[in-house]
Structure 1
Amino acid sequence: MPVMLSPPHAHGGDSIRMTMLTVVLALLPATAMSVYLFGWLAVLLILTCMVTALVTEAICLKWMGRPLSTLLDNSAALTGLFLALTLPAAVPWWMALLASVFAIVLGKQIYGGLGYNIFNPALSARIILLISFPLHMTTWIVPMSAAGPVLDLYDFQLCLSFFLTGPDALKVGFDAISMASPLGYVKTEATLGVPVAEALKAYDYSYLDAFLGFEAGSIGETSALALLIGGIFLLTRHTITWHIPLSYIATVLLLAGIFNAISPDQFTPPLFHLFAGGLILCAFFMATDPVSSPVTPMGQVIFGIGCGILTWSIRSFGGYPEGAMFAVLLMNCAVPLIDHYFRPRVFGYGRGEKS
């Protein structure tokens, strides 16, 4: 039962803290899968991002004269976790630390704190890293199969040394444990005129591996299964609604299906788009951020469709292999306009009247 407050108000039990905690719980399958696939490197990356985000938030709150109790709303910890899951396992400590500071300061506190940011903080920091350090941000460690004499992902001391010093900790070249992501490989082969089917065959691409997570990518985006479990959890808890995830994913699949049917040698099939990159992560977790997404159901559908069009367009024609995170940030810019044109009519006013 809801807790009754002073009439006529009733508290439904929701709060910022509980909402953030629910999202953290929804991310646990993807987090656990990242640790399973990338071992201690994932653990070190997640801890660095979360601790740095919390410390940076505390410093900002202290500097602005705000109570440190705000840290208990779990938003800073969630931002750090989000950020870590969007990063490659090969990212060094200083880059993870720098990105976490960017996420809190430039993505959140500079706008006034939680509830005032116009962009998703974690995505903002991730894009800054991608533009500033493209080599580091597009170097992918082979999940699990990298474990062995070169880099045992379950050897804490070796992973810590690699995390702190980079490839210098290895006795062989870094190429021995890295590989291209499916999106990056197909994009590169397409520039050479290689048909999509041949590129996927040469890559030894498997839809099952991609669904489970055994493909190269950021630590939290590889397993479509783990992300779908978390997304369904958020839907059943009514933390998010279906409008953005469904319209986003459906738009990408529709465009991919149409163009793949027209020119299969040039355009990748729908399932490839669904399982590759950060589409599912963005659709269920990033694009649904209540602060930086539209407030009305119709506005959310328009927002999702826009994200889908941009994601597919960037992946198919853009210079970057991945377009999901760029798409969400670009559509964040359009949220005020979407809310303006799709806001509900104020009760009591006629069609020709304005409030």
Structure 2
Amino acid sequence: MSEETPTIQLPDPAKLVVSNSPHMRDKPTIDRIMFTVVLAMAPACIAALLFFGLAALKVLVISTVSCVLAEEAWNKMMKRAPTWKDGSAILSGILLGMNFNAGAPWWICVIGGFLAMILGKQLYGGLGYNPFNPVLVARVGLLIGFPGIMTTWDKPELGTLLIDGVTAATPLGLAPGETVLQDMMLGNVGGCLGETSALALLIGGAILIWKKLIKWEVPLAFIGTVFIITGAMHLVNPELYHSPFVHVLSGGLLLGAFFMATDMVTSPMTHKGAWFFGLGCGLITSLIRLFGSYPEGVSFAILFMNALTPLIDRGTIRKPFGYVAPAKGEA
């Protein structure tokens, strides 16, 4: 046995990163995360292009360019380095476009980009500091300022390049019994670009869960709560209230549950908190849809729960290992 002192192998300081939890198992970067979410949005975008053609493409392109330019203009004014390469503004632009009708005028897309990037994000300090989802800030702002434009839907025509300008009600705006679940699943219904194909949104949501980019508890609690509450009301009065399947497959529920309520910055950090967050979103959405004057409530519900996220985190965060609460009277 050798009496020589063994050499201690220390980690390379250049590769050793010391930081607070949570610790990542992989090496995800902001741009990698953002563009993976963009990939998950691809099925819904393709469905929108199939049903609304060039009109949908125009809205998506203008919304995305507006978000990128608005953010870079702010960076220029504040003398900051460009940030468009991280993909966050591009993702916000795509999500913003999916919240518009295919016939939305170009200037609405531009105003939406400004509201999302400046009012909803940069005024709070930029990526990671915004307490509310920027896209939903823009959507609600436009809904309040331009309700006629934001609640007018064009009729989808599969395989056409241009929409015909014929308006159609969303499934939630129809009387119970007038909706067809197959049309809602595939996307042959009126509504925003991101409210058409439920199947495409489910595929995108599955990608996000598979890549572990979202907490699956949020969409499960969100969708499940809406299903249970609306299902109970449907059983009480089926002639007045839609089937719970209509509520789940129509409107912005799936888009909001998978792609906006799960935003890493504005949703709870803990898994227990994710359950409370999703349940709250589902409860508020159901109340607005069932008893409010506006048929949709997803955007309002998520923004309201965004405001409660810090309190949810405080109430559900685990105590550090070995923590002992100080005795009464101790400083």
Q: 2:306 aligns with which of 326, 329, 332?
A: 332
Q: 1:88 aligns with which of 86, 101, 105?
A: 101
Displacement of 1:7 after TM fit?
3.2
Displacement of 1:8 after TM fit?
6.2
Q: Distance in 1 between matches of 2:13 and 2:50?
A: 45
Displacement of 1:342 after TM fit?
1.1
* Greater shift in the superposed pair: 247-256 or 338-347: 338-347
- The alignment partner of 1:301 has SS state of helix
Q: 1:20 aligns with which of 34, 49, 61?
A: 34
Displacement of 1:353 after TM fit?
6.8
For structure 2, list consecutive stretches of 5 or more residues without a partner in the other structure. 1-11, 19-23
Displacement of 1:339 after TM fit?
1.1
Q: Paired residue for 1:46?
A: 60
For structure 1, list consecutive stretches of 5 or more residues without a partner in the other structure. 148-152, 160-169, 187-195
Q: Paired residue for 1:178?
A: 167
Count of aligned pairs between the two proteins: 313
- The alignment partner of 2:242 has SS state of coil
Q: Paired residue for 2:122?
A: 109
Q: Distance in 2 between matches of 1:301 and 1:341?
A: 13
Q: 1:6 aligns with which of 15, 29, 42?
A: 15
Q: Distance in 2 between matches of 1:353 and 1:245?
A: 40
TM-score by length of 1: 0.84
Q: Paired residue for 1:289?
A: 263
Q: Give the RMSD, CA atoms, in angstroms.
A: 2.1
Q: 1:276 aligns with which of 250, 258, 270?
A: 250
CA change 1:278–1:237 in 2 (3 A) is same
Cα pair 2:215 2:274 within 8 Å, conserved: no
Cα pair 1:107 1:125 within 8 Å, conserved: yes
Displacement of 1:118 after TM fit?
0.7
Displacement of 1:352 after TM fit?
6.6
Q: Paired residue for 2:155?
A: 142
Q: Distance in 2 between matches of 1:110 and 1:351?
A: 38
Q: How does 1:220-231 map to 2 (within 5 A)?
A: 220-231=194-205
Residues 30-75 of structure 1 show CA distances to partners (whole Å, capped at 9, x for unaligned) of: 001101010000000001011111111111111111111x211000
- The alignment partner of 1:179 has SS state of coil
Q: Paired residue for 2:139?
A: 126
Q: Distance in 2 between matches of 1:42 and 1:180?
A: 18
- The alignment partner of 2:53 has SS state of helix
Give the AA of the match of 1:49: S
Displacement of 1:220 after TM fit?
1.6
Q: How does 1:58-73 map to 2 (within 5 A)?
A: 58-68=72-82, 70-73=83-86
Residues 169-216 of structure 1 show CA distances to partners (whole Å, capped at 9, x for unaligned) of: x8xxx5xx1111111233xxxxxxxxx3xxx33xxx210110011010
- The alignment partner of 2:275 has SS state of helix
Residues 299-355 of structure 1 show CA distances to partners (whole Å, capped at 9, x for unaligned) of: 110000000000111000011110111111111111111111111112211367799
1:154 pairs with 2:161: yes
- Aligned-pair identity in percent equals 42
Q: How does 1:205-284 map to 2 (within 5 A)?
A: 205-284=179-258
Residues 123-144 of structure 1 show CA distances to partners (whole Å, capped at 9, x for unaligned) of: 1101111111111111111001
Q: Which structure shows the bigger proportion of residues in helix conformation?
A: 1
TM-score by length of 2: 0.90
- The alignment partner of 1:139 has SS state of coil
Displacement of 1:76 after TM fit?
0.4
